[in-house]
Structure 1
Amino acid sequence: MMMKLHEQTVLVTGASRGVGKELVKAFVKEGANVVLNYYKSEEKAQHLAKCLGPQVIALKADIRNQKEVQQMVEKAKQYFRTPITTIVNNALIDFEFNPLTQKNVFELQWTDYNKQFEGTIKGALNSIQACIQDMKELEFGRIINIGTNLFQHPVVAYHEYTTAKAALLGFTRNMAKELGEYGITVNMMSGGLLKQTDASKVTTPEVFQMIEATTPLQSVTTPKELADVALFFASPWGRAITGQNLVVDGGLVMD
């Protein structure tokens, strides 16, 4: 089975701001139904949903909580009267890209790592498990995980964040292997440090200047540019691609 973008119902986690907001807008522009997941930013989420119209529903859920995720998916199915076909695992739990406050090796605790593993891996697992039965029955599914080029090229040593995202690549490939027989693709797309999101607003100008100077396209990737790549993975054009990590960073990392 093949679904065009306007036939899809898309769950975007952590979607009230930054990359998530641009992902929602990109899918809505193509005619898809979108479930705008949020956890803390209720005002921003509801405002965005209202601005974009009935194609969007904003639903609260902590992606680390399996029951909340399942309830969110059920509410979305009731609202749109159709199952979720497409997941973008984007949510980021309690992290800022601030080189001045990032803990170094002497200060790091296992709890720092565990918080990121729970948000990144457990969150993705919960969203997939909540939707997988419907995808299997449809014989169609698109799962897109948001990674980072920082685990290949740590401009700043954001230890716990980049380690969790590196684990997400292993998670992506294993899911791709298992779910391919059901017509479900699982891919990852990795931006660099994006200009500009809530998480990167504290990034110093010097870091952005260093990235621009060493990037072939001489620019820092924007959230909108990254969001456009999700459309490719979800569209019929990306139907033969699974288990891949596409780096979207203007050529800084050539993998």
Structure 2
Amino acid sequence: MDLGLENTHVLVTGASGGIGLETVKLYLSLGANVTAHYNSNSEPIQTLKVSFPALQCAQADLSSESAVKSMFDALSETPFGPVVVIVVNHGIWASQDVPIVDMTIEQWNHTMSANLTSSFLVCREFLRHLRAATESVKDRAAVVLIGSTSGKYGEANHADYAISKSAMMYGLTTTLKSEIVKIAPRGRVNCIAPGWVPTPMVQEALNDPAVSGPILAATPLKKFATPLDIANQIAVLSSSMISGHVTGQVVFVEGGCVGDHTLVI
């Protein structure tokens, strides 16, 4: 199926691995021009870049206001032209279990900055550049944020992560969908909320049967999603041709799994 994304400039944040890297590969296969963002590890992107001239890299600490502004300013000057679609995929998840009663303010602030404030900065800068874009760009403008099932159900011992995702899903997404149309009347904002996906960030946790067992037992499809499962939904939501009347939605990709199963571990 043609998603109408050929030659569309797509920015994917947190593209060094897992869902981000798989999303980059999918967009490239669909003919898009892709900017793959990274903070510290560019090796997987550089390896991919050898085979794909329609791929470029961008380094930035997205929790820095000046770094986000500089990144978008630089991207607007590249041959790919202005960014049309952004996939806000970056984020951190602390592998150590820390209940709220023991959580430090340093951990809380670090997670909020890395996951939520950075997403606000990326979306804000995208909108600011969108103001000066052509009508053709504005008509196809789309934001896809990556939330989490923990943003709906919570996650015991990982409140900082769950709350950062909840704010993204139910505050940022739903507000942005009402504001983007003031700049781009056809602009859309949606969110994908994956369940557990075996990525480098959480693979160690999922290797523990005490973690993976209860999750799979409560998942009707009896399997974890792959990064490509998530990437496919991202691409569909970003397509104005296929999803042009879909905005403000949180789409769960979790195999039917419901609830915070860390509670029963």
**What TM-score, normalized to structure 2?**
0.86
Aligned residue for 1:127? 122
Q: Which of 194, 212, 222 is 1:218 aligned to?
A: 222
Letter of the 1:90 partner, please give it.
N
Q: Give the number of equivalent residue pairs.
A: 246
**Structure 1 residues 77 and 50: CA distance shift in structure 2, 3 A:** farther
Contact persistence 2:63–2:121 (CA under 8 A): yes
| 1:73-125 deviation digits (Å, cap 9, x = unpaired) | 233333334100001111113x34x3xx2112331022222212212222122
Distance in 2, matches of 1:118 and 1:75, equals: 23
Q: What is the aligned-residue RMSD (CA, Å)?
A: 1.9
Letter of the 1:207 partner, please give it.
V
**Structure 1 residues 240 and 253: CA distance shift in structure 2, 3 A:** farther
Distance in 2, matches of 1:188 and 1:124, equals: 12
Matched, 1:50 2:50: yes
Aligned residue for 1:91? 90
Aligned residue for 1:232? 236
Distance in 2, matches of 1:134 and 1:198, equals: 33
Distance in 2, matches of 1:21 and 1:156, equals: 28
Aligned residue for 1:193? 196
Distance in 2, matches of 1:68 and 1:45, equals: 20
Distance in 2, matches of 1:174 and 1:168, equals: 10
Percent identity, aligned pairs only, is: 25
User: 1:227 Cα deviation (Å)?
Assistant: 0.7
Distance in 2, matches of 1:216 and 1:155, equals: 20
Distance in 2, matches of 1:158 and 1:247, equals: 19
Aligned residue for 1:178? 179
Matched, 1:17 2:17: yes
1:114-153 correspondence to structure 2 within 5 Å: 114-136=109-131, 137=133, 138-140=137-139, 141-153=141-153
Structure 1: give runs of 5+ residues left out of the alignment.
none
Distance in 2, matches of 1:240 and 1:85, equals: 17
Distance in 1, matches of 2:231 and 2:45, equals: 17
Structure 2: give runs of 5+ residues left out of the alignment.
260-265
Contact persistence 2:9–2:80 (CA under 8 A): no
User: 1:155 Cα deviation (Å)?
Assistant: 5.7
Letter of the 1:89 partner, please give it.
V
Runs of 4+ in 1 over 4 A off after TM superposition: none
Matched, 1:242 2:247: yes
Q: Secondary structure at the match of 1:82?
A: coil
